[in-house]
Amino acid sequence: MIEKKFEYTLGEEKTIERIISDGNADINHMILSKNDALPEHFSNSNVYMLIVRGILTIRLNDETANKYVRGEIISIPYNIKMNVYNEDSEVLEFFVVKSPSPQNYSR
């Protein structure tokens, strides 16, 4: 078998899980209920967020927060301050793809 299979959680509860981290790219899966948030942090690679359910609210650096919905993909450059949260009643689910893998950046 040449391919590898990866699984991710299906659910409604807060979930933050790393699916792939192989040196080429990192893929994370997240589920956030209303008022759940990620800790404020800086992007450690080029980040692509793929929203598959709900409404993602994100504030980058000191800009005004923006909202993104299912079917949208947002791109965030390296080393940007991020505040990611769900302020809406619907459960938010999204994937985060980091490319290149943060392992390839020196600190």
Query: What stretch of H or E contains 67?
Result: strand 66-69
3-state secondary structure of 103: helix
Whether residue 107 has pLDDT greater than 70: no
Where does the pLDDT of residue 106 fall: very low under 50, low under 70, confident under 90, or very high at 90 and above? low
**Residue pLDDT, tens place only, 28-40:** 999 999 999 999 9
Spatial contact of 15 and 27, defined as CB atoms under 8 Å apart: no
Whether residue 10 has pLDDT greater than 80: yes
As to burial, measured by CB atoms within 10 angstroms (0-12 exposed, 13-18 middle, 19+ buried), residue 18 is: exposed
Where does the pLDDT of residue 104 fall: very low under 50, low under 70, confident under 90, or very high at 90 and above? confident
Tokens for 54, please give them.
């709900």
Q: Specify the amino acid at residue 25.
A: A
CATH number of 15-104: 2.40.30.10, 3.40.50.740, 2.60.120.10, 1.10.10.10? 2.60.120.10
The rounded distance, in Å, linking the Cα atoms of 87 and 97 is 22
Look at the pTM and tell me if it is higher than 0.85: yes
The rounded distance, in Å, linking the Cα atoms of 98 and 77 is 10
Average model confidence (pLDDT) for the chain? Answer: 94
